[in-house]
Amino acid sequence: MKDKLIKIESEFDSAYKEAKDLNLLEEIRLKFLGKKGSLNYVMADFKQVPNEMKKEIGQLVNKLKNKIEEKIAEKKQELEDKQNEAEINNAKKIDLTLPAKTNVGSLHPRTLILKEVEDVFVSMGFVVEDGFEIETEYNNFDAVNVPANHPARDMQDTFWLDNGQVLKTHTSAAQNRILKKYGPHCKAIFPGRCFRNESLDAGHENTFFQMEGIVVDENVSVSNLLYFMKEMLKGVFKKDINVRLRPGFFPFTEPSFELDASCAFCGGKGCSSCGGSGWIELCPCGMIHPNVLRNAGIDPDKYSGFAFGLGADRLVMLKTGLNDIRHLNSGNVSLLKQFGIKL
């Protein structure tokens, strides 16, 4: 056994001297340390070593292994340094007299708003999850208490795919998956793009962004819902926002509410953006329906929760002063760059 280790060490020393590049060095590493490397083959015979010599042989194996690892790490660093130096020396020289690039673009106002909202919720202990843009019929409808014969399906003119799946009509489509992932102790938000075959106007688009949020635990109530909604709006607008909570209907919540914010364009007097009401519908919300909890394997007699679907595009309109939701998907750079951050 000792003779084999001495032979391996001698072979490594010879091969190590010939390591002229990173590819060859990796071949050497695999030859001696890989699953089919020399040391592993030697260790296969370790059971044949007399018990009184196992400790000594084990120490020799570890010593040799450590030596090979250290030598390879040193050589790798040396070769990488030489490679970087060569790349720098061969690189084209920078002409400092050339004019700087000025048109570097900016983040979309929707991206900025979503990041702000995410930061607020993360600061309150929420995790951020991703949803799918193409969903199953079950997740988009049935799992959130909207079976095939439910009239609420008529409220969402859906884009259906040939395979029976849908372009998700709301971020609620991710609720069942996320509730199953976290179970009865869930505190998550999941932003995403949604699709409906809408007639376009100043307040409606066929492609829009929402941010869903859910909290499930013991003794969760409407007061918890109100607290988080107010803190979110305060965090985004850096001030208290005039809101109202009115009864609503959503199949996946019971009771259901509409959270409206005072229209930023007309000051509450009424305009085309708010449909003359002085308010912009911002955040449908409510207590999660028991059927939704059951579909996720959560006992509604023991646990409760709330959900909200924040209209991200309408939140952008409120904060930026844009009076037409269609601007957000228009690609009008001269308009959108006013609200972006230069990269």
Domain boundaries, the chain: 2-90, 109-336
Q: What's the mean per-residue pLDDT of the chain?
A: 84
For 291, list phi and psi in degrees, rounded to 5: -65, -35
**Comparison of pLDDT for 297 and 324, the residue scoring more:** 297
Tell which residue, 318, 220, 306, has the closest CA to residue 260: 318
Q: Is pLDDT at 71 greater than 80 in this prediction?
A: yes
Are 68 and 30 in contact by the 8 Å Cβ rule? The answer is no
Tell which residue, 159, 184, 177, has the closest CA to residue 169: 159
Q: Is pLDDT at 279 greater than 60 in this prediction?
A: yes
The answer to which of 127-131, 237-241, 282-286, 323-327 has the lowest mean pLDDT is: 237-241
Nearest-angstrom CA–CA distance, 294 and 198: 32
Nearest-angstrom CA–CA distance, 314 and 109: 11
Q: Is pLDDT at 343 greater than 50 in this prediction?
A: no
Predicted model pTM: 0.62
Nearest-angstrom CA–CA distance, 315 and 220: 26
- Looking at domain 109-336, which of 3.40.250.10, 3.40.640.10, 2.40.50.140, 3.30.930.10 is its CATH number? 3.30.930.10
What separation in angstroms does the CA of 293 have from each of 129, 254, 285? 18, 12, 16
Name the CA dihedral angle for 95, 96, 99, 105, rounded to a multiple of 10 degrees: 90
Structural Rg of the chain based on CA atoms:
31
Nearest-angstrom CA–CA distance, 261 and 280: 5
Copy the structure tokens of residue 73: 């790490």
Q: Predicted confidence band at 167 (pLDDT cuts at 50, 70, 90)? A: very high
Cα 48 to the center of its chain, rounded Å: 53
What residue type is 314 in one-letter code? R
